[in-house]
């Protein structure tokens, strides 16, 4: 029975992720930023600087995949790569000022989108969604 719950949760997460990405892509159809690029930008806004390996680990993607995403962000002047002064083998990924402005726009647009998607839901339903997601997040943190 527990295995069935796990499968159901995994399927729901996949569906929610796919549906949310579809809505986000639609909202940003006029921009050049993809959802994975935005995820990296958001991480860098929180962490200030990260290595490709750290980003790869946090996103659960191969380093080569992340490196390709970073290449495209760098071509758009949204990130810079800087070699560490202490250890020349370490390359830090940092966002640019252009990225901060873009992130603010994206953040408010995603927030507006989510508000719109749950806008016609009852207050109780929205509260249940938030509580359920918070509980899942806490459970996932316990396993680290």
Total domains in the fold of the chain: 1
13-44 per-position pLDDT tens digit: 999 989 988 888 788 777 778 878 888 998 99
Which of 80-89, 109-118, 125-134 has the weakest average pLDDT? Answer: 109-118
Q: CA 102 to CA 37: how far, in whole Å?
A: 12
Cβ atoms of residues 92 and 82 within 8 Å: yes
Q: CA 139 to CA 102: how far, in whole Å?
A: 32
CATH code, 127? 1.10.10.10
- The pTM for the full model equals 0.62
Per-state percent for the chain, helix, strand, coil, to nearest 5: 70, 10, 20
Cβ atoms of residues 115 and 104 within 8 Å: no
Q: Which domain holds residue 37?
A: 2-142
Cβ atoms of residues 94 and 79 within 8 Å: yes
């Amino acid at each position: 029975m527990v295995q069935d719950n796990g499968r159901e949760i995994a399927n729901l997460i996949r569906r929610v992720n796919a549906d949310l990405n579809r809505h986000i892509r639609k909202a940003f159809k006029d921009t050049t930023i993809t959802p994975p690029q935005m995820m990296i930008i958001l991480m860098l806004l929180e962490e200030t600087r990260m290595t490709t390996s750290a980003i790869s680990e946090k996103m659960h993607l191969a380093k080569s995949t992340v490196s390709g995403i970073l290449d495209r962000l760098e071509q758009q002047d949204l990130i810079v790569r800087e070699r560490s002064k202490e250890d020349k083998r370490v390359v830090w990924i940092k966002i640019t000022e252009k990225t901060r402005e873009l992130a603010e726009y994206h953040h408010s647009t995603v927030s507006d989108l989510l508000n719109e998607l749950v806008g016609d839901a009852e207050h109780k339903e929205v509260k249940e969604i938030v509580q359920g997601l918070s509980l899942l997040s806490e459970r996932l943190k316990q396993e680290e």
